[in-house]
Amino acid sequence: MDLKDLLSQTSTKAPQTPPIRHIFYIVAESLGSFAFDKKYDEIGLVSGMKSLIDNQKGFMIPHFFENAHGTIWSIETQIAGLYYTGVRLSFQSARLKELPTAIASNMKRAGYRTEFYYGGSQSWQNIGNYARSQGFEKVNGLGVLEDFALREKYPLPYKNVWGVWDGILLDFVAENNASIKEPSFHMILTTSFHGPMNLPWEYIQAMGGKKEEFENFASKISSPKWEALELGTLWWIDKKITSFIHKVSKQYPDSLFVITGDHTHYGYTQGVLSNREVPMIIYSPSLKIYPLSTAGSQLDIAPTLLNLSTPKGFVYYSFGKPLFSTTPSKMPKERIYNAFELVGSEGVVYTQHKECISLPQKQISQAQDETFTPFLKRLKEGRALSWYLFSKGCKIKK
């Protein structure tokens, strides 16, 4: 048995739809769905990203979940397109072959140049070598970003202990993309929303943020307890991400953007779902797209991008399923998705501890064996096949 046969899917991109030349997959540090709660509208915490969601050019999946806890585990699974198995993939990169489910591998076969960007050092968790092992043709890290910051005379300090500020990283991505002649795929991992929060207030105020407004809001919020600079930093990051998208969209209307988080900010969430919820925003200036689901996980991002960007009939490999299409179609009644310790469908999520959580009410009850067991089986099967794929390859002997 060949796992590639099991995992193969075919693009349904309508022939008359515009081609997608540039794709940007932004993974924002600690960006959880909590930030989109209406209580933060008073300070416009993520007003930029919210402005993209018009259900015409931009959409947000209502219920979306991480596929691993923590930055490196999350980015490992997103790069490889695998379930989280507990094995540190980035430390296996010297022996890892390029996996058929890896997003860069699929994008290369579709004719895209593939580039990975991390605001910090390529040596952190061996992330640079890992990204290369899974199909990225070029990796951009702290060294080239510091050179860029010095050349462009960004004010000091232009970085913290984790890496350059997100605005510098995104400015570099935009400049680098302008020099690329062929279709391109860019995966970007930011760093700035990570403790210690030490972005200078001057940076926030230069974009119109008012320190006293964040301080007043932080003093009113008792649960969770925020520091004013944490609010200001996330507010600033939101504006930098959306200004980047608007800038690139104006230059290249044939672009496609996805925003998600590596994981949520665990200090500001409560409960099994909110601890695993991250946003998934998709935006395209030129494509008319249609949602296929109201719930999913980060395993579904790669097939979504491939389904929207590659020509009809292109074969790609993924454990996930597309969340959007360029052709109108009814949402499947029983679309099952898998996330970190979670498995669900449109209306319900099960935890591996036999909890049943209804969506969107988030009411928790005890799962019934006859309904819970098939879902749990799917989760275990996905983990087992992921482990087999990176450990032994695609061929399974009977």
Examine the pLDDT at 99 and tell me if it is beyond 80: yes
Q: What is the rounded distance in angstroms from the CA atom of residue 102 to the CA atom of residue 199? A: 34
How many H-runs (helices) and E-runs (strands) does the chain carry?
A: 12, 18
State residue 269's pLDDT score: 67
Locate the domains of the chain by residue range. Answer: 10-333
- Quick one: average pLDDT of 333-344? 86
Beta strands in the chain (DSSP E): 8-10, 22-28, 58-60, 63-65, 113-118, 138-140, 184-189, 255-261, 280-283, 290-291, 295-297, 315-317, 324-325, 337-339, 342-344, 348-351, 355-358, 364-366
- Burial call 199-212: b when 16+ CB within 10 Å, e when fewer: bebebbeeeebeee
Q: Tell me the two tokens of residue 198.
A: 């030490």
State residue 191's pLDDT score: 97
At 370, is the pLDDT very low, low, confident or very high (cuts 50, 70, 90)?
A: confident
User: Apex CA 201: angle with CA 195 and CA 207, to 5°?
Assistant: 115
State residue 362's pLDDT score: 83
Examine the pLDDT at 277 and tell me if it is beyond 70: yes
Cβ count near 336 (within 10 Å):
15
Mean pLDDT for all residues in the chain: 94
pTM for this model (two decimals): 0.96
Examine the pLDDT at 66 and tell me if it is beyond 80: yes
At 333, is the pLDDT very low, low, confident or very high (cuts 50, 70, 90)?
A: low
Q: What is the rounded distance in angstroms from the CA atom of residue 210 to the CA atom of residue 262? A: 28
State residue 175's pLDDT score: 97
State residue 303's pLDDT score: 98
CA-based nearest residue to 351, from 339, 363, 360, 359? 339
Tens-place pLDDT, residues 379-390: 999 999 999 999
Out of 119-123, 217-221, 332-336, pick the least confident: 332-336
> Between 381 and 221, whose confidence is greater?
381
CATH code for the part of the protein at 10-333: 3.40.720.10
Examine the pLDDT at 361 and tell me if it is beyond 70: yes
- The CA-based dihedral angle spanning residues 67, 69, 74, 80, taken in that order and rounded to the nearest 10 degrees: -60
Provide φ and ψ at 250, rounded to 5°: -70, -40
